[in-house]
C-alpha cells in the first residue's frame, strides 16, 4: 500500500478526501461502488442483486423509505414514517399511537389517506437532452427557464408513454440528469404498529443518539384494485441476522445533503439560515407544548407536529455544531481551495469556472439579506392556509404551459399533489389557531408592522385576532370543498369568499415575488455556478464520488461497527436487556416509560436478542425506513436514525464516530411473536 500511495502522490493523482478509506457514498443504481466493494470486501453485486434490491425498495412521498418484505405487498417502514397514518386512523376513543395497532385480519387493514408509495422501475441518462437546451450565451435566468422547459418536456413525454410517474433528477448539481420512472401505489393500508412509547423509546433525549432501544417499525400493505399488490421484488427475512464486522447495504431515499456546497454556502447556513431556523423551531415547539399542556386530547392532536419539530430542532442543532467545528470547516475550505487551484491552472476551465465560487458567494450574501422574508412570507402557520395556498396556485398554474409552471405544479406531480390535497386527514381548529397566531407574531416581530405581508395578514388586527378571524369563516376542513374549488378552476377560486382562500389570494403575489427574487438572484446563479463547478469536478474526479442526496434511490454500503465515545467503546448491538436497563435506570419515567404490554411480557422475551445496531452506512434524513440488506440480499434490519455525530453527514462523511442506527430484524420478530402475539405476521415475514 505504501508504494501505491507514494507512487500516486508522485504522479500528482488526486484522491478525493477520505474516499479511499471510509465507506462514503450514496450511490445511484447506475453507478454502484462495485470496485470498492470488490477490493474491500470481495463482493460484487450482480445485476440481478441490484435489480432485486432496487425493485424491493420503496419511497414514501411524505419523506421516508421502506421495502417490500413479502410477495403480498407487505412493506416495512418506520413508525415515524407511518405515524401520520396511524394518527389519522386513530380516533378520540382509539388512540393507536398510544396503544399500537394490529389488524386482526387482512380485511381489517386500515386505509392510510394521502399516502403514496413509489418504486423506481427504470432509469435513463438524459443529461445530453437537458444540456442540449442550454446555450453558453444564455443569461442565468434564460438558462434556468430553458432547463425547466427541457425537463418538463422529458417528464411529460415519459408520463404519456409509460403511464408512470416520471421525474428528471438533477445529480452532481447538474453534472448529470437522470429520468426516473416510478411505479406508484396510492392504496396503502396500515397492518401493524407498536406503541409509540416503544417505537420512540427514549423520546427526544435519545433521538439522534446511540445506544438505542427502539422498535421503530410500522407495517403497511400496498393494494392494487382492492387486492394486495404483487410487487416485482421483495426482500426475504434473514434467518441469521448480522454480526459485528458484517458488510451491509442500505437501499433508500436520502433527502438532501450539502456535501458539494461551496464554503460560502456553508458559511451562510452556519451564520444565518441555521440560527434563524433554530429560533423559529424553538418558538413553535414551545407554543405547541403550551397547547398540549391544556388537555390530553390536545397533546394527542399536537403529538405528530411536536415530534416532527423536535426532530428538526435537534437535527439542526447537530448540523450547526458540525459546521461550527472550525477544523472540519477548514478541511472543507482546503478541499475547495484545491479544486479552485486545479481550475485556475487549467486554461480550458479557468475562464468559465474560475469565477463560479465568487458568484455563489455574492448570491449567498443576497440570500442572507432576505432571510426573514424567505422564511416567513408564505402560507405557513396553518394546515388549512397551506391548502388554500396550494388551491390558489394550482388553478393559476395549470393554465400555463407545463414548462412555465412553478415546478411543484408540473404535470408529473399533479396526481400526487391532488392525493394530498384531498386527504381527509383531520384538522383541529384550536391547534390551527394557535399555530397561525404564532406565525403572525413571528412575522410582525421579524418583518415589522410596515411590511406588505404583515399588513395583509394582520389587516390592523393583533396576530391572535387575525388568526381567529381568518380561520373562523373557512370551509376548507372539508375535502369535498377543496375538490370543488380545484374542479371549478380559476373562476371558482377567484369568486370564493372563503376566508382562507381570500387570504391566500392576497399572500400569493407577495410570496411569489420573494420566491422569484430568490430564484433569480440566489438559486439561479448558485445553481448555474454550481453546475460549472460540478462539471469541473467531474473532469477532475469523475463519478468516483457519489452525488448529493436528492430524495431518490441510493445504495450505500458499510459494516456493523462499534465506535468510540466519551473514552469508551459503544457496542454495535443493543439487546432487550438494555431496553429494560434504560427504562429502570431512569426510574421508568417518560420518555423511558414502557407500555404495560412490555412489562407484562418481559418474561416471555429472550432478552439477549439484538434490538438495534449501528453501522457505517452513509445515510441522511429520508433514509428513515430503508432496509438494511446483507450480501445475500436479505432483510437484516431497518434504518431509523443516525447518532448525533452522524448529523455531520449533511456536510461531510466521517465514520470515526458517526453511525447509521437500525432496528435488528431479530428484535422485530422477537417482539412481534412474544410481545404482540402477531404470529400470522411473523409467518408472512419469515416465509420464503
The DSSP bridge partners found for residue 556 are 250
Nearest to 234 by CA among 65, 76, 46: 76
Minimum gap (Å) between residue 581 Cβ and its own copies: 4
Using CB under 8 A as the criterion, which residues of the chain lie in contact with its own copies when the complex forms?
202, 205-209, 211, 243-244, 314, 318, 562, 565-569, 571-575, 577-578, 580-582, 584-587, 592, 607-608, 610, 643-645
Q: Who's near 478: CB < 8 A, 6+ residues apart?
A: none
Minimum gap (Å) between residue 449 Cβ and its own copies: 32
Return the C-alpha cell found at 100: 399500537
Q: Print burial letters for 271-282: b (CB count within 10 Å at least 16), e (below 16).
A: ebbbebbbebbe
Q: For residue 178, which phi and psi values (nearest 5 degrees)? A: -125, 135
Minimum gap (Å) between residue 205 Cβ and its own copies: 5
Q: Who's near 20: CB < 8 A, 6+ residues apart?
A: none
Of 25 and 241, CB closest to its own copies? 241
Minimum gap (Å) between residue 603 Cβ and its own copies: 11
Could you check whether the bond before residue 211 is cis, i.e. omega within 30 degrees of 0?
Answer: yes
Q: Tell me the pairing of strands 110-111 and 187-193.
A: antiparallel
> For the purposes of burial, counting CB atoms within 10 Å of the CB of 385, is it exposed (0-12), middle (13-18) or buried (19 or more)?
buried
Q: Tell me how far apart the alpha carbons of residues 12 and 14 are, in angstroms, rounded to a whole number.
A: 6
Minimum gap (Å) between residue 403 Cβ and its own copies: 45
Minimum gap (Å) between residue 673 Cβ and its own copies: 19
Of 347 and 567, CB closest to its own copies? 567
Of 208 and 237, CB closest to its own copies? 208
Minimum gap (Å) between residue 577 Cβ and its own copies: 4
Of 255 and 578, CB closest to its own copies? 578
- Could you tell me the CA-to-CA distances from 246 to 26, 213, 241, 620 in Å, in that order? 19, 21, 10, 21
CA atoms within 13 A on the CB side of 639: 38
Minimum gap (Å) between residue 30 Cβ and its own copies: 36
Return the C-alpha cell found at 202: 427514549
Nearest to 421 by CA among 384, 448, 460, 472: 384
Of 277 and 474, CB closest to its own copies? 277
Nearest to 251 by CA among 58, 35, 116: 58
Of 163 and 588, CB closest to its own copies? 588
3-state secondary structure labels for all residues of 161-182: HHCCEEEEEEEHHHCEEEEEEE
Could you check whether the bond before residue 431 is cis, i.e. omega within 30 degrees of 0?
Answer: no
Return the C-alpha cell found at 23: 465507506
Of 271 and 321, CB closest to its own copies? 321
Of 428 and 563, CB closest to its own copies? 563
Of 249 and 563, CB closest to its own copies? 563
Minimum gap (Å) between residue 196 Cβ and its own copies: 18
Minimum gap (Å) between residue 252 Cβ and its own copies: 23
DSSP state of 548: P
Minimum gap (Å) between residue 564 Cβ and its own copies: 8
Q: Tell me how far apart the alpha carbons of residues 536 and 395 are, in angstroms, rounded to a whole number.
A: 41
Of 318 and 547, CB closest to its own copies? 318
Name the H helices within 247-293.
263-268, 274-292
Nearest to 412 by CA among 168, 213, 666: 168
End-to-end Cα spacing for the chain? 43
Minimum gap (Å) between residue 141 Cβ and its own copies: 43
Q: Tell me how far apart the alpha carbons of residues 181 and 162 are, in angstroms, rounded to a whole number.
A: 8
Minimum gap (Å) between residue 551 Cβ and its own copies: 25
Per-residue DSSP letters for 386-436?
HHHHHHHHHHHHTTS-GGGS-GGGSHHHHHHHHHHHT------HHHHHHHH
Three-state SS for 616?
Answer: coil
Minimum gap (Å) between residue 80 Cβ and its own copies: 17
The residue behind cell 452506512 is: 617
Of 240 and 352, CB closest to its own copies? 240
Of 139 and 599, CB closest to its own copies? 599
Nearest to 521 by CA among 354, 352, 365, 351: 365
Of 403 and 562, CB closest to its own copies? 562
Nearest to 297 by CA among 86, 509, 95: 95
Q: Who's near 386: CB < 8 A, 6+ residues apart?
A: 379, 380
Minimum gap (Å) between residue 207 Cβ and its own copies: 8
Of 111 and 607, CB closest to its own copies? 607
Of 135 and 589, CB closest to its own copies? 589
Minimum gap (Å) between residue 661 Cβ and its own copies: 12
Of 571 and 593, CB closest to its own copies? 571
Count the neighbouring beta carbons within 10 Å of the beta carbon of residue 201: 26
Minimum gap (Å) between residue 535 Cβ and its own copies: 39
Q: Could you give the angle at the alpha carbon of 426 between the alpha carbons of 507 and 487, nearest 5°?
A: 55
Of 155 and 655, CB closest to its own copies? 655
Q: Tell me how far apart the alpha carbons of residues 630 and 636 are, in angstroms, rounded to a whole number.
A: 7
Three-state SS for 621?
Answer: coil
Q: Tell me how far apart the alpha carbons of residues 303 and 199 are, in angstroms, rounded to a whole number.
A: 14
Of 85 and 274, CB closest to its own copies? 274
Minimum gap (Å) between residue 571 Cβ and its own copies: 4
The DSSP bridge partners found for residue 177 are 170
The residue behind cell 432478552 is: 607
Amino acid at each position: 500500500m505504501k508504494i501505491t500511495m507514494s507512487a500516486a502522490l508522485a504522479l500528482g493523482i488526486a484522491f478525493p478526501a477520505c474516499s479511499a478509506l471510509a465507506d462514503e457514498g450514496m450511490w445511484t443504481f447506475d453507478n454502484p461502488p462495485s470496485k470498492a466493494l470488490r477490493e474491500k470486501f470481495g463482493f460484487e453485486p450482480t445485476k440481478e442483486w441490484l435489480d432485486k434490491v432496487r425493485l424491493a425498495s420503496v419511497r414514501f412521498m411524505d419523506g421516508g423509505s421502506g421495502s417490500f418484505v413479502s410477495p403480498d405487498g407487505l412493506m416495512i417502514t418506520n413508525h415515524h414514517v407511518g405515524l401520520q397514518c396511524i394518527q389519522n386512523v386513530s380516533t378520540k376513543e382509539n388512540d393507536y399511537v398510544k396503544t399500537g395497532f394490529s389488524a386482526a385480519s387482512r380485511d381489517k387493514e386500515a386505509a392510510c389517506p394521502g399516502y403514496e408509495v413509489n418504486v423506481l422501475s427504470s432509469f435513463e441518462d438524459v443529461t445530453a437532452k437537458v444540456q442540449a437546451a442550454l446555450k453558453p450565451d444564455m443569461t442565468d435566468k434564460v438558462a434556468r427557464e430553458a432547463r425547466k422547459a427541457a425537463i418538463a418536456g422529458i417528464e411529460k413525454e415519459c408520463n404519456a408513454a409509460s403511464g408512470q410517474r416520471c421525474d428528471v433528477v438533477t445529480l452532481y448539481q447538474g453534472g448529470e440528469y437522470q429520468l426516473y420512472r416510478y411505479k406508484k401505489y396510492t392504496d396503502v393500508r396500515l397492518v401493524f404498529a407498536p406503541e409509540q412509547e416503544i417505537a420512540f423509546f427514549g423520546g427526544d433525549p435519545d433521538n439522534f443518539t446511540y445506544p438505542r432501544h427502539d422498535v421503530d417499525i410500522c407495517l403497511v400493505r400496498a393494494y392494487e384494485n382492492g387486492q394486495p399488490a404483487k410487487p416485482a421484488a421483495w426482500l426475504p427475512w434473514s434467518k441469521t441476522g448480522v454480526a459485528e464486522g458484517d458488510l451491509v447495504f442500505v437501499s433508500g431515499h436520502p433527502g438532501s445533503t450539502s456535501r458539494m456546497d461551496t464554503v460560502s454556502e456553508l458559511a451562510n447556513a452556519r451564520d444565518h439560515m441555521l440560527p434563524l431556523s433554530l429560533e423559529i423551531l424553538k418558538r413553535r415547539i414551545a407554543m405547541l407544548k403550551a397547547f398540549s399542556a391544556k388537555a390530553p386530547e390536545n397533546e394527542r392532536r399536537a403529538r405528530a407536529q411536536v415530534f416532527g419539530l423536535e426532530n428538526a430542532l435537534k437535527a439542526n442543532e447537530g448540523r450547526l455544531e458540525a459546521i461550527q467545528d472550525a477544523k472540519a470547516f477548514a478541511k472543507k475550505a482546503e478541499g475547495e481551495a484545491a479544486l479552485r487551484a486545479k481550475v485556475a491552472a487549467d486554461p480550458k476551465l479557468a475562464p468559465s469556472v474560475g469565477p463560479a465560487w465568487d458568484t455563489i458567494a455574492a448570491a449567498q450574501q443576497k440570500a442572507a439579506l432576505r432571510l426573514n422574508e424567505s422564511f416567513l412570507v408564505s402560507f405557513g402557520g396553518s394546515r388549512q392556509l397551506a391548502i388554500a395556498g396550494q388551491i390558489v396556485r394550482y388553478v393559476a398554474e395549470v393554465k400555463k404551459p407545463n414548462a412555465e409552471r412553478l415546478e411543484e405544479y408540473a404535470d408529473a406531480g399533479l396526481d400526487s399533489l391532488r392525493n394530498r390535497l384531498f386527504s381527509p386527514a383531520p384538522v383541529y381548529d384550536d391547534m390551527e389557531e394557535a399555530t397561525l397566531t404564532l406565525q403572525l407574531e413571528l412575522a410582525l416581530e421579524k418583518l415589522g408592522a410596515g411590511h406588505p405581508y404583515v399588513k395583509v395578514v394582520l389587516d390592523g388586527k393583533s396576530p391572535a385576532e387575525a388568526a381567529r378571524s381568518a380561520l373562523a369563516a373557512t370551509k376548507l376542513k372539508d375535502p369535498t370543498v377543496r375538490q370543488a374549488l380545484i374542479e371549478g378552476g380559476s373562476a371558482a377560486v377567484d369568486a370564493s369568499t372563503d376566508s382562507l382562500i381570500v387570504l391566500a389570494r392576497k399572500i400569493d403575489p407577495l410570496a411569489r415575488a420573494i420566491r422569484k427574487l430568490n430564484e433569480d438572484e440566489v438559486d439561479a446563479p448558485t445553481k448555474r455556478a454550481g453546475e460549472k463547478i460540478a462539471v469541473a469536478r467531474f473532469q477532475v474526479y469523475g463519478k468516483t464520488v457519489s452525488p448529493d442526496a436528492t430524495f431518490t434511490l441510493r445504495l450505500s454500503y458499510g459494516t456493523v461497527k462499534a465506535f468510540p465515545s466519551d473514552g469508551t467503546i459503544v457496542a454495535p448491538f443493543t439487546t432487550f436487556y438494555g431496553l429494560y436497563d434504560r427504562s429502570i435506570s431512569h426510574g421508568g419515567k417518560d420518555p423511558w416509560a414502557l407500555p404495560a404490554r412490555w412489562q407484562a411480557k418481559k418474561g416471555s422475551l429472550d432478552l439477549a436478542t439484538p434490538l438495534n445496531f449501528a453501522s457505517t452506512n452513509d445515510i441522511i434524513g429520508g433514509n428513515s425506513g430503508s432496509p438494511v440488506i446483507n450480501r445475500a440480499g436479505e432483510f437484516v434490519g431497518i434504518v431509523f436514525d443516525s447518532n448525533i455525530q452522524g448529523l455531520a453527514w449533511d456536510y461531510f462523511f466521517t465514520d470515526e464516530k458517526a453511525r447509521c442506527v437500525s432496528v435488528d430484524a431479530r428484535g422485530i420478530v422477537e417482539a412481534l411473536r412474544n410481545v404482540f402475539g402477531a404470529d400470522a405476521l411473523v409467518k408472512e415475514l419469515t416465509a420464503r
